[in-house]
Amino acid sequence: MSTSSLRPHWPRWMTPLLVVITAAATIGAATRLVRDPLAAYRPAPLRSGTEVLMVLIGSSGCAGTAAPGLPEAVARVKTALRSKAEREAQSFVTIGVALDWSIPKGMAMLERFGPFDEVMVGRSWLNSGVVKYIWKDVPGFAATPQIVVLEREIANDGGFVVGPEQVRTRRIGADAIIAWSRALPAASAPGVGEAAAAS
């Protein structure tokens, strides 16, 4: 059997149509990358100065974490906080925390909320992120979902020196997060400039 017999065959008149379909699909994907804040994201740089951290804490078994509209609300929060940080020459960092015992389930849950700079998954209420942002260093009410926004100073003089984290706000529950996201100033989707420049 020749290799040519394994290739797909179609009438010559279909070739322009296939080219148009392929181009449309490529343009559509690029448009989603630019417009969708969950799809376009640039990792925070490692540098001295003020860092703004947005920590999302949730669980795949939590009804609130699975609430309709929450991923879009988190995207709006990311957008607004990042835009504000960039205007003030600050770094913006997102951290996802999943309480799931199952690592794959926790990762799948966090993926609903788009990319993060860092994730902590596993060990339920003794997850390292929960210990830090609820029980110990930054104590708060134990509930999911919640978003904690913090600031800290970073210095680099041959090695990083990280200052204490100061809580700016803590929003607990899907309804509170969604309402807060709608009250934040509208801003362009994160990564739009980078995506456009890269295209």
- For position 29, what pLDDT does the model report? 39
Domain at 85, CATH number: 3.40.30
Residue 198: closest CA among 10, 30, 77 = 30
- For position 192, what pLDDT does the model report? 29
* 20 assigned to some structural domain: no
- Residue 149's beta-bridge partner residues? 54, 169
Max CA distance (Å), the chain? 70
Element (H, E) at 155: strand 146-156
* 149 assigned to some structural domain: yes
* 198 assigned to some structural domain: no
| CA angle 159–162–165, rounded 5-degree value | 170
| Mean predicted lDDT score pLDDT of the chain | 81
* 180 assigned to some structural domain: yes
Q: How many domains would you assign to the chain? A: 1
The phi and psi torsions of 109 (rounded to 5 degrees) equal -65, -45
* 36 assigned to some structural domain: no
Burial label for 14, CB within 10 Å (0-12, 13-18, 19+), is exposed
**Domain with 122 in it:** 49-189
Evaluate if residue 23 carries a pLDDT over 80: no
* 23 assigned to some structural domain: no
* 108 assigned to some structural domain: yes
Dump pLDDT digits (tens) for 129-188: 999 999 999 999 999 999 999 999 999 888 899 999 999 999 999 999 999 999 998 754
Evaluate if residue 198 carries a pLDDT over 90: no
* 196 assigned to some structural domain: no
pLDDT band at residue 197 using 50, 70 and 90 as cut-offs: very low
- For position 12, what pLDDT does the model report? 57
pTM: 0.74
